[in-house]
Homo-oligomer: A and B are copies of this chain.
Protein backbone atom coordinates (compact mmCIF):
# COMPACT_ATOMS: atom_id res chain seq x y z
CA UNK A 1 0.00 0.00 0.00
CA UNK A 2 1.03 3.59 -0.45
CA UNK A 3 3.14 2.39 -3.31
CA UNK A 4 3.22 5.82 -4.84
CA UNK A 5 5.46 6.97 -2.04
CA UNK A 6 3.30 10.00 -1.55
CA UNK A 7 3.09 11.16 2.00
CA UNK A 8 -0.51 10.36 2.64
CA UNK A 9 -2.06 11.78 5.72
CA UNK A 10 -2.71 9.03 8.23
CA UNK A 11 -6.00 7.22 8.05
CA UNK A 12 -8.80 8.41 10.30
CA UNK A 13 -11.69 6.42 11.63
CA UNK A 14 -13.86 7.72 8.78
CA UNK A 15 -11.39 6.35 6.26
CA UNK A 16 -11.55 3.03 8.01
CA UNK A 17 -15.32 3.27 8.12
CA UNK A 18 -15.71 3.73 4.38
CA UNK A 19 -13.18 1.00 3.72
CA UNK A 20 -15.13 -1.39 5.91
CA UNK A 21 -18.52 -0.17 4.75
CA UNK A 22 -19.71 0.87 8.18
CA UNK A 23 -20.18 4.13 10.03
CA UNK A 24 -17.37 5.87 11.88
CA UNK A 25 -19.13 5.19 15.14
CA UNK A 26 -18.90 1.47 14.57
CA UNK A 27 -15.21 1.82 14.03
CA UNK A 28 -15.00 3.75 17.27
CA UNK A 29 -16.83 0.92 18.98
CA UNK A 30 -14.43 -1.63 17.65
CA UNK A 31 -11.30 0.19 18.72
CA UNK A 32 -12.79 0.75 22.14
CA UNK A 33 -13.79 -2.85 22.57
CA UNK A 34 -17.47 -2.10 22.89
CA UNK A 35 -19.35 -5.39 23.34
CA UNK A 36 -22.27 -4.97 21.00
CA UNK A 37 -20.65 -5.25 17.62
CA UNK A 38 -21.40 -8.24 15.46
CA UNK A 39 -18.30 -10.43 15.18
CA UNK A 40 -18.40 -10.39 11.40
CA UNK A 41 -18.54 -6.59 11.38
CA UNK A 42 -15.75 -6.37 13.88
CA UNK A 43 -13.57 -8.55 11.71
CA UNK A 44 -14.26 -6.42 8.68
CA UNK A 45 -13.36 -3.29 10.59
CA UNK A 46 -10.21 -4.82 12.03
CA UNK A 47 -9.17 -5.87 8.56
CA UNK A 48 -9.65 -2.32 7.30
CA UNK A 49 -7.70 -0.94 10.25
CA UNK A 50 -4.87 -3.28 9.46
CA UNK A 51 -5.02 -2.53 5.77
CA UNK A 52 -4.89 1.22 6.18
CA UNK A 53 -2.41 1.14 9.03
CA UNK A 54 -4.81 3.09 11.16
CA UNK A 55 -3.63 4.39 14.54
CA UNK A 56 -5.88 6.31 16.84
CA UNK A 57 -4.89 9.96 16.92
CA UNK A 58 -3.83 10.71 20.49
CA UNK A 59 -4.46 14.43 20.14
CA UNK A 60 -7.99 14.04 18.90
CA UNK A 61 -8.64 11.46 21.58
CA UNK A 62 -7.46 13.83 24.26
CA UNK A 63 -9.50 16.71 22.92
CA UNK A 64 -12.70 14.80 22.52
CA UNK A 65 -12.59 12.68 25.63
CA UNK A 66 -10.95 15.08 28.00
CA UNK A 67 -8.50 12.52 29.33
CA UNK A 68 -5.06 12.56 27.89
CA UNK A 69 -3.08 9.50 28.98
CA UNK A 70 -0.05 11.60 29.75
CA UNK A 71 2.10 12.42 32.76
CA UNK A 72 4.56 15.21 33.17
CA UNK A 73 7.44 14.82 35.58
CA UNK A 74 8.65 18.04 37.13
CA UNK A 75 12.19 17.86 38.45
CA UNK A 76 14.96 20.23 39.39
CA UNK A 77 17.53 18.25 37.48
CA UNK A 78 17.81 15.29 35.15
CA UNK A 79 21.42 14.37 35.75
CA UNK A 80 21.41 13.46 39.41
CA UNK A 81 21.31 9.73 39.78
CA UNK A 82 18.32 9.62 42.11
CA UNK A 83 16.19 11.98 40.05
CA UNK A 84 17.09 10.29 36.80
CA UNK A 85 16.19 6.92 38.27
CA UNK A 86 12.83 8.12 39.46
CA UNK A 87 12.18 9.45 35.98
CA UNK A 88 13.17 6.14 34.50
CA UNK A 89 10.80 4.33 36.85
CA UNK A 90 7.94 6.60 35.91
CA UNK A 91 8.60 6.09 32.24
CA UNK A 92 8.67 2.35 32.67
CA UNK A 93 5.32 2.22 34.41
CA UNK A 94 3.83 4.78 32.08
CA UNK A 95 4.91 2.85 29.06
CA UNK A 96 3.28 -0.27 30.42
CA UNK A 97 0.05 1.66 30.78
CA UNK A 98 0.59 3.34 27.40
CA UNK A 99 0.84 6.78 28.85
CA UNK A 100 3.10 9.42 27.39
CA UNK A 101 5.74 10.94 29.65
CA UNK A 102 6.65 14.60 29.56
CA UNK A 103 9.40 16.31 31.45
CA UNK A 104 9.90 19.79 32.81
CA UNK A 105 13.07 21.01 34.48
CA UNK A 106 12.80 23.47 37.33
CA UNK A 107 15.90 25.42 36.58
CA UNK A 108 15.36 27.92 39.35
CA UNK A 109 13.42 27.82 42.58
CA UNK A 110 12.26 31.34 41.97
CA UNK A 111 8.51 31.76 42.35
CA UNK A 112 7.66 32.98 38.86
CA UNK A 113 9.87 30.48 37.09
CA UNK A 114 8.36 27.59 39.00
CA UNK A 115 4.84 28.82 38.37
CA UNK A 116 5.58 29.06 34.67
CA UNK A 117 6.80 25.49 34.57
CA UNK A 118 3.76 24.24 36.42
CA UNK A 119 1.58 26.09 33.93
CA UNK A 120 3.40 24.51 31.04
CA UNK A 121 2.98 21.10 32.54
CA UNK A 122 -0.70 21.77 33.07
CA UNK A 123 -1.06 22.84 29.43
CA UNK A 124 0.36 19.54 28.34
CA UNK A 125 -2.69 17.89 29.85
CA UNK A 126 -2.72 14.80 32.00
CA UNK A 127 -1.33 14.36 35.46
CA UNK A 128 1.74 15.64 37.20
CA UNK A 129 4.48 13.96 39.18
CA UNK A 130 6.61 16.40 41.10
CA UNK A 131 9.95 15.42 42.55
CA UNK A 132 9.92 17.45 45.71
CA UNK A 133 13.22 16.67 47.36
CA UNK A 134 14.48 20.20 47.00
CA UNK A 135 13.19 23.75 47.37
CA UNK A 136 12.28 24.13 43.69
CA UNK A 137 10.33 20.89 43.70
CA UNK A 138 8.54 21.69 46.92
CA UNK A 139 7.52 25.06 45.64
CA UNK A 140 6.28 23.46 42.43
CA UNK A 141 4.25 20.93 44.35
CA UNK A 142 2.58 23.56 46.47
CA UNK A 143 1.74 25.74 43.50
CA UNK A 144 -0.07 23.09 41.50
CA UNK A 145 -3.69 24.20 41.12
CA UNK A 146 -6.13 22.07 43.08
CA UNK A 147 -8.00 20.67 40.09
CA UNK A 148 -4.90 19.08 38.60
CA UNK A 149 -4.14 15.47 39.49
CA UNK A 150 -0.67 15.35 41.02
CA UNK A 151 1.56 13.02 42.98
CA UNK A 152 4.49 14.28 44.98
CA UNK A 153 7.70 12.34 45.45
CA UNK A 154 8.77 13.50 48.86
CA UNK A 155 11.36 12.64 51.42
CA UNK A 156 9.03 12.40 54.36
CA UNK A 157 5.35 11.69 54.68
CA UNK A 158 5.10 13.62 57.91
CA UNK A 159 3.28 16.79 56.93
CA UNK A 160 4.33 16.58 53.31
CA UNK A 161 4.26 19.72 51.24
CA UNK A 162 1.31 20.13 48.94
CA UNK A 163 -1.30 19.54 51.62
CA UNK A 164 -3.38 16.41 51.26
CA UNK A 165 -2.07 15.56 47.83
CA UNK A 166 -1.10 11.95 47.31
CA UNK A 167 2.59 11.26 47.59
CA UNK A 168 5.15 8.50 47.57
CA UNK A 169 8.33 8.38 49.54
CA UNK A 170 11.37 6.37 50.40
CA UNK A 171 11.97 5.98 54.06
CA UNK A 172 14.89 8.39 54.22
CA UNK A 173 14.59 8.76 57.91
CA UNK A 174 14.93 5.05 58.53
CA UNK A 175 17.78 4.88 56.05
CA UNK A 176 19.72 7.65 57.78
CA UNK A 177 18.99 6.02 61.09
CA UNK A 178 20.43 2.73 59.90
CA UNK A 179 23.67 4.11 58.52
CA UNK A 180 24.24 6.23 61.58
CA UNK A 181 23.69 3.24 63.83
CA UNK A 182 26.09 1.26 61.71
CA UNK A 183 28.80 3.85 62.21
CA UNK A 184 28.12 4.15 65.90
CA UNK A 185 28.21 0.38 66.30
CA UNK A 186 31.75 0.42 64.94
CA UNK A 187 32.73 2.40 67.99
CA UNK A 188 32.65 5.98 66.81
CA UNK A 189 31.85 8.46 69.50
CA UNK A 190 29.58 10.39 67.21
CA UNK A 191 28.79 10.87 63.52
CA UNK A 192 29.03 14.16 61.67
CA UNK A 193 26.55 14.92 58.94
CA UNK A 194 26.96 16.74 55.64
CA UNK A 195 23.45 17.64 54.54
CA UNK A 196 21.90 18.08 51.13
CA UNK A 197 19.98 21.31 50.72
CA UNK A 198 16.85 20.75 52.75
CA UNK A 199 13.59 20.72 50.93
CA UNK A 200 11.83 22.63 53.63
CA UNK A 201 12.73 25.04 56.30
CA UNK A 202 12.31 22.31 58.84
CA UNK A 203 14.83 19.55 59.23
CA UNK A 204 14.85 16.92 56.55
CA UNK A 205 13.99 13.28 57.07
CA UNK A 206 17.62 12.32 56.60
CA UNK A 207 18.75 14.78 59.21
CA UNK A 208 16.17 13.62 61.67
CA UNK A 209 16.98 9.94 61.25
CA UNK A 210 20.61 10.70 61.84
CA UNK A 211 19.78 12.75 64.91
CA UNK A 212 17.54 10.11 66.34
CA UNK A 213 20.27 7.50 66.14
CA UNK A 214 22.71 9.80 67.90
CA UNK A 215 20.21 10.62 70.57
CA UNK A 216 19.38 7.00 71.26
CA UNK A 217 23.06 6.24 71.62
CA UNK A 218 23.57 9.21 73.87
CA UNK A 219 26.15 10.54 71.42
CA UNK A 220 26.92 14.23 71.10
CA UNK A 221 24.98 15.93 68.30
CA UNK A 222 27.27 18.02 66.16
CA UNK A 223 25.66 20.65 63.99
CA UNK A 224 25.07 19.40 60.41
CA UNK A 225 27.36 20.87 57.78
CA UNK A 226 25.40 22.38 54.94
CA UNK A 227 26.44 20.94 51.57
CA UNK A 228 25.08 21.29 48.09
CA UNK A 229 24.08 18.45 45.76
CA UNK A 230 27.30 17.77 43.96
CA UNK A 231 30.77 16.61 44.88
CA UNK A 232 32.02 20.19 44.96
CA UNK A 233 29.86 20.92 47.96
CA UNK A 234 31.09 17.79 49.65
CA UNK A 235 34.64 18.84 49.02
CA UNK A 236 34.14 22.18 50.71
CA UNK A 237 32.41 20.59 53.65
CA UNK A 238 35.05 17.89 53.85
CA UNK A 239 37.84 20.42 54.06
CA UNK A 240 36.29 21.88 57.17
CA UNK A 241 35.71 18.51 58.76
CA UNK A 242 39.20 17.30 57.93
CA UNK A 243 40.69 20.02 60.07
CA UNK A 244 38.95 18.80 63.16
CA UNK A 245 40.85 15.84 64.62
CA UNK A 246 37.82 14.86 66.67
CA UNK A 247 35.90 13.93 63.53
CA UNK A 248 36.08 10.18 62.97
CA UNK A 249 32.85 9.45 61.13
CA UNK A 250 30.98 11.40 58.48
CA UNK A 251 27.58 10.66 57.01
CA UNK A 252 26.77 12.42 53.77
CA UNK A 253 23.39 13.31 52.32
CA UNK A 254 24.20 11.59 49.07
CA UNK A 255 26.97 9.66 47.36
CA UNK A 256 28.23 12.63 45.38
CA UNK A 257 28.67 14.62 48.52
CA UNK A 258 30.52 11.67 50.03
CA UNK A 259 32.83 11.60 47.06
CA UNK A 260 33.78 15.21 47.66
CA UNK A 261 34.34 14.52 51.33
CA UNK A 262 36.55 11.55 50.53
CA UNK A 263 38.62 13.70 48.24
CA UNK A 264 39.00 16.42 50.84
CA UNK A 265 40.06 13.91 53.47
CA UNK A 266 42.59 12.48 51.07
CA UNK A 267 44.00 15.91 50.36
CA UNK A 268 44.26 16.58 54.08
CA UNK A 269 46.14 13.35 54.55
CA UNK A 270 43.52 11.67 56.62
CA UNK A 271 43.16 7.99 55.82
CA UNK A 272 39.79 6.40 55.11
CA UNK A 273 38.63 4.32 56.88
CA UNK A 274 41.60 4.09 59.28
CA UNK A 275 41.29 7.62 60.61
CA UNK A 276 37.89 8.66 59.38
CA UNK A 277 34.90 6.63 58.25
CA UNK A 278 32.59 7.95 55.56
CA UNK A 279 29.14 6.86 54.46
CA UNK A 280 26.93 8.04 51.65
CA UNK A 281 23.32 7.86 50.67
CA UNK A 282 21.59 6.46 47.54
CA UNK A 283 24.08 3.84 46.35
CA UNK A 284 24.80 5.39 43.00
CA UNK A 285 26.21 2.91 40.47
CA UNK A 286 29.76 4.17 40.76
CA UNK A 287 29.93 4.05 44.53
CA UNK A 288 30.81 0.37 44.60
CA UNK A 289 33.84 1.00 42.39
CA UNK A 290 35.41 3.87 44.25
CA UNK A 291 38.69 3.25 46.02
CA UNK A 292 37.95 2.77 48.81
CA UNK A 293 34.44 1.68 47.90
CA UNK A 294 31.69 3.60 49.59
CA UNK A 295 29.50 2.44 52.44
CA UNK A 296 26.00 3.73 51.72
CA UNK A 297 22.27 2.94 51.82
CA UNK A 298 20.47 1.82 48.75
CA UNK A 299 17.10 3.32 47.97
CA UNK A 300 14.78 1.98 45.33
CA UNK A 301 14.33 5.07 43.17
CA UNK A 302 13.06 3.26 40.13
CA UNK A 303 10.44 1.57 42.24
CA UNK A 304 9.57 4.93 43.68
CA UNK A 305 8.96 6.27 40.20
CA UNK A 306 6.80 3.31 39.33
CA UNK A 307 4.82 3.76 42.51
CA UNK A 308 4.31 7.43 41.80
CA UNK A 309 2.91 6.63 38.41
CA UNK A 310 0.69 3.89 39.76
CA UNK A 311 -0.77 6.28 42.28
CA UNK A 312 -1.43 8.93 39.68
CA UNK A 313 -2.87 6.38 37.31
CA UNK A 314 -5.19 5.15 39.98
CA UNK A 315 -6.32 8.66 40.73
CA UNK A 316 -7.03 9.44 37.11
CA UNK A 317 -8.69 6.26 35.92
CA UNK A 318 -11.54 4.52 37.66
CA UNK A 319 -9.99 1.08 37.29
CA UNK A 320 -8.03 2.10 40.31
CA UNK A 321 -5.65 -0.17 42.12
CA UNK A 322 -4.98 2.59 44.62
CA UNK A 323 -3.17 0.33 47.02
CA UNK A 324 -0.91 2.62 49.03
CA UNK A 325 2.55 2.06 47.72
CA UNK A 326 4.65 -0.40 49.66
CA UNK A 327 7.51 1.65 50.93
CA UNK A 328 10.62 -0.25 50.05
CA UNK A 329 12.97 -0.89 52.89
CA UNK A 330 16.26 0.97 52.58
CA UNK A 331 19.18 -1.39 52.43
CA UNK A 332 22.44 -0.70 54.23
CA UNK A 333 25.41 -1.48 52.02
CA UNK A 334 28.60 -1.77 54.01
CA UNK A 335 31.76 -1.35 51.99
CA UNK A 336 35.26 -0.13 52.57
CA UNK A 337 34.87 3.46 53.75
CA UNK A 338 33.52 2.53 57.15
CA UNK A 339 35.55 0.95 59.90
CA UNK A 340 36.52 1.18 63.54
CA UNK A 341 37.70 4.52 64.79
CA UNK A 342 41.40 5.00 65.52
CA UNK A 343 42.18 4.34 69.18
Interface residues of A (CB under 8 A from B): 7, 55, 57-60, 62-63, 68, 77-79, 81, 84-85, 87-88, 91-92, 95, 98, 100-105, 107, 117, 119-120, 123-125, 146-147, 230-232, 234-235, 256, 259-260, 262-263, 266, 285-286, 288-291, 293
Contact = CB atoms under 8 A, between A and B. Distances in A.
A79 B282 CA distance: 13
B59 A68 contact: yes
Given A78-B88, A103-B103, 17 more contacts: A55-B123, A58-B123, A78-B78, A78-B85, A79-B88, A88-B105, A95-B104, A98-B120, A101-B102, A231-B286, A234-B289, A256-B286, A259-B289, A260-B289, A263-B289, A263-B290, A291-B291
A288 B231 contact: yes
Given A7-B147, A79-B85, A59 B256 contact: no
A289 to B, nearest CB: 4
A11 to B, nearest CB: 14
A125 B102 CA distance: 12
A55 B153 CA distance: 28
A293 B267 CA distance: 11
B286 A262 contact: no
A150 to B, nearest CB: 14
Contacts of A230: 285
B266 A285 contact: no
Nearest to A87: B78
Name the residue among A88, A104, A117, A235 with the largest chain B CB count within 10 angstroms. Answer: A88
